């Protein structure tokens, strides 16, 4: 491949790489999520996207600014996932997310009946 052809190929590839988020949209904006993720609608018109993995033993939390994994821990009722700093509590269709004892997302609910 000639040097000119290589430059053209790299330029075209760079134009096609406008998003680091693999599910579409532009940087910092996530209009879509994995098809097997759960979408929760929370207070303040915020969204919480969670992908449960390993048969529900862990949860991948996807926020606009970052993604992180939480592992299931003992819970009195419902399911609780934590990494020691951030905790996701779920029960039925409801969830809330805390970090360092502060509520990040409250009154989150999935769609459906």
Q: Across the chain, what does the average pLDDT equal?
A: 79
Between CA 62 and CA 37 the distance in angstroms is 9
More confident residue, 107 or 1: 107
More confident residue, 26 or 50: 50
Give me the mean pLDDT over the 72-77 stretch: 90
Give me the mean pLDDT over the 49-75 stretch: 93
Q: How confident is the model at residue 99 (pLDDT cuts 50, 70, 90)?
A: very high
Between CA 105 and CA 70 the distance in angstroms is 15
**Residue 13 pLDDT > 50:** no
For the chain, list the domains and their CATH numbers.
Answer: 33-110 (2.40.128.200)
DSSP, res 51: E
Q: What's the pLDDT at 77?
A: 86
Q: What's the pLDDT at 21?
A: 41
**Residue 6 pLDDT > 80:** no
Give me the mean pLDDT over the 52-78 stretch: 92
In degrees, to the nearest 5, what angle opens at C-alpha 102 toward C-alphas 90 and 45?
Answer: 65
CB 81 within 8 A of CB 72: yes
């Amino acid at each position: 491949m000639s040097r000119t052809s290589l430059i053209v190929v790299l330029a075209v590839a760079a134009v096609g790489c406008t998003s680091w988020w693999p599910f579409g949209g532009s940087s910092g904006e996530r209009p879509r999520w994995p098809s097997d993720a759960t979408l929760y609608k929370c207070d303040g018109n915020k969204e919480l996207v969670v992908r449960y993995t390993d048969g529900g033993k862990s949860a991948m939390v996807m926020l606009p600014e970052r993604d992180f994994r939480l592992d299931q821990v003992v819970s009195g009722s419902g399911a609780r996932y934590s990494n020691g700093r951030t905790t996701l509590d779920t029960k039925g269709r409801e969830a809330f997310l805390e970090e360092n004892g502060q509520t990040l997302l409250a009154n989150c609910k999935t769609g459906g009946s």
